[in-house]
Amino acid sequence: MTSTMFIVFFVFLVLMALLSSGGEFVMRARVAKTDPKDKIAWWRRGGDEVVAAYQELFPHSHLPLLRRFTFLLTIVWAAAILVCIFWKSR
């Protein structure tokens, strides 16, 4: 029972990480595509700077919101895993 629960949580965390990384990649690619003089620099900049530029260029996109949601959901699931592990170890 415990190993099945851990596997489900772990798979969910991996899927959330892939979704978050994919969203980050798409945002960086779209921002780099719109800035013809400085394409390489967008791949080296921080995530907050990329999100701010992305929201400026694409104001009606839901991708930054999805990125924040997956981050917070990953944190909540990780906390749930820790609580379950500590609860089962008692």
Please identify every stretch of the chain with a pLDDT value under 70, giving residue numbers as ranges. 1-2
Residue 77 has a pLDDT of 81
Sequence-distant (6+) residues with CB within 8 A of 58 are 30
Short-list 5, 13, 11, 17, CA closest to 77:
13
Tokens of residue 5, six digits:
């629960």
Residue 2 has a pLDDT of 63
Residue 1 has a pLDDT of 58
Compute the distance between CA of residue 63 and CA of residue 43 in angstroms, rounded to an integer. 17
Sequence-distant (6+) residues with CB within 8 A of 63 are 23, 26, 27, 54
3-state SS class at 61: coil
Burial class (CB in 10 A: 0-12, 13-18, 19+), 27: buried
pTM of the model: 0.70
